[in-house]
Amino acid sequence: MAYSSFSPVRRSRRRRWLAALLVAIALIAVLIVTIQYRTEARGIADYLAVTEEAVDLQAEAAAGMETAFHDLSGIDRPDLLRRLADMHASTAEAAMAIDSVTVPSSAAEAHGYLVVATRSWEQALDGFGDAIVAVVDGTDEAAGDALADALILLRVGDVAYAEFLARVGDFDSGIAEGHFDSIAFVPTGGPVRFEPRTLEIRLTNTYQLGAQRNISITAVTDPAPIGERNNVPIVPDSEQFVVQAVVANEGNETEEMISVRLDLIPTDADLQPVTITQTVAVLEPGEAKTCIFDGLVLHGGALYELVITASTPNDISSDDNAWRMVFYRNENV
């Protein structure tokens, strides 16, 4: 029987190829693991960048919450409602960012708690201002319950966020370098007591938070008086007589459809009185608008009473709802 002299060589070659193949497979496996690690690292880094920015918005809103309710006597109704609206806008923006972020697998559990926190805060603040107004004005018997429900939702968000913080450390320590501040919209140990009944009493006992409706009016004429006769102003002769009436909202409620009325009343029975009405559609608290009454005809030597009025239902001050001026129109020269 004859034996091939090349068999040991072929076996040796096969062993070398097998060893090279195993080395290649090992290298590929290491490369895959490295790529997966780096991909996960990039995913977590991107996730942290988005969530940190969103959490910063929430932290700012929570700080504003404590500031606003720490000293209610130092804040008026429009300012409080503006602050609450800003807080809600911040939480809504943060919730949208959290909902749209790509979540790496290692952050899935922590992210679930963060979603609960952001959605709870946003939902609570969505109706918080309306609940406060209803409590202060006493217009809804269920207002106290609505306020309590909002506070419960805020506290749910606080608890969920604490669970998120407890799980952030579960990320790989070499990757998770994000920094997240503690957040509590209704802290249990802070200077402000957010217990529903306590807060309700504070709100109803703060005068400037109650509805205060007050419209005032002032006016100027063109031409303006230039002298007097027997202590009565004299308006000079001119081609036209124009009255500019400034209507201001001195209260803390938005006023709508304000009727501004001008009455020009001559004392001479042979002359006809004039009545003109204009409407101011909307006046926000602290806002003022000008109504211009032109085309008014005056007769030389005549004595007139000019009266301009504007008011709103339940106006707390009637002294500034009317502006009056008695005057002579100068004789034509």
Q: Which CATH number do you get for residue 266?
A: 2.60.40.10
Q: What percent of the chain has pLDDT over 90?
A: 33
Range of the domain at 307: 215-329
- Reported as a single tens digit per residue, the pLDDT across 116-132 is 999 999 999 998 888 88
pLDDT, position 310: 92
Does the pLDDT of residue 78 top 50, yes or no?
Answer: yes
Q: Which residues are registered as beta bridge partners of 218?
A: 246
pLDDT, position 30: 37
Indicate whether 114 and 239 sit together in one domain: no
Does 3 fall in a domain?
A: no
Does the pLDDT of residue 300 top 80, yes or no?
Answer: yes
Does the pLDDT of residue 197 top 80, yes or no?
Answer: yes
- Reported as a single tens digit per residue, the pLDDT across 267-287 is 988 899 999 999 999 999 889
Contact 274, 296 (CB under 8 A): yes
Q: Would you give the DSSP letter of residue 205?
A: T
User: Mean pLDDT throughout 299-325?
Assistant: 89
Does 4 fall in a domain?
A: no
pLDDT, position 29: 42
Domain total of the chain: 2
Indicate whether 65 and 184 sit together in one domain: yes
Indicate whether 229 and 295 sit together in one domain: yes
Does the pLDDT of residue 305 top 90, yes or no?
Answer: yes
For the chain, what is the mean pLDDT?
Answer: 82
pLDDT confidence bin for 327, thresholds 50/70/90: very high
For the ranges 44-48, 78-82, 161-165, 297-301, which has the lowest average pLDDT?
44-48
| Distance separating alpha carbons of residues 242 and 179, to the nearest angstrom | 64
> Which residue, chain included where needed, has tokens 């008014």?
296
pLDDT confidence bin for 261, thresholds 50/70/90: very high
pLDDT, position 293: 96
**Segment (H or E) for 293:** strand 288-296
The length of the chain in residues reads 333
Does the pLDDT of residue 172 top 50, yes or no?
Answer: no
Indicate whether 174 and 26 sit together in one domain: yes
Which of 209, 227, 256 finishes a domain? Answer: 209
**CB atoms near residue 25 (< 10 Å):** 10
Does 1 fall in a domain?
A: no
Burial track 304-322 (b if 16+ CB lie within 10 A, e otherwise): bebbbbbbbeebeeeebbe
pLDDT, position 24: 44
